[in-house]
Structure 1
């Protein structure tokens, strides 16, 4: 397989090589691909955790009575007004 780098990518790789941390362009690419793999795995784990939390919330919502959104907002505003009056 051959790959073609943009001029910016070539400068990036050359800079890494000049700094002496990497011995070859292949080594730079190996590290980059390893980081990409780790990122993809972490993202997949995060998505799975979010799905589990959503499923748990759905299960919980089945056993909790519904709440009227307008009433909740009214209660929040009322509590904020009370705090403001106490602090004011």
Structure 2
């Protein structure tokens, strides 16, 4: 998120009205409903996690036990269980 100067974007009357409530402070103006972006849509993080999870599931299918996966991927045992279960369900629905 980048900061924009209100005086460059808004009519001076609106800036003065906002200053009555918040003078010289930073405020966040949320997006309108329906224009929100999903998590990870601006970066490659979502894709990287999907590839990692697919690799974890492939290792699991090849016989690597959950404790070893937990150590290899530096994730908790519960996280590995969740990833394996999620990948299993996702592949069944394909």
Shorter chain as denominator, the TM-score bin is under 0.3
Question: Quick one: higher RCO (CA 8 Å, sep 6+), 1 or 2?
Answer: 2
Scaled by the length of structure 1, the TM-score of the pair is: 0.26
Hey, which of these two has a bigger chunk of helix by percent? 1
Scaled by the length of structure 2, the TM-score of the pair is: 0.25
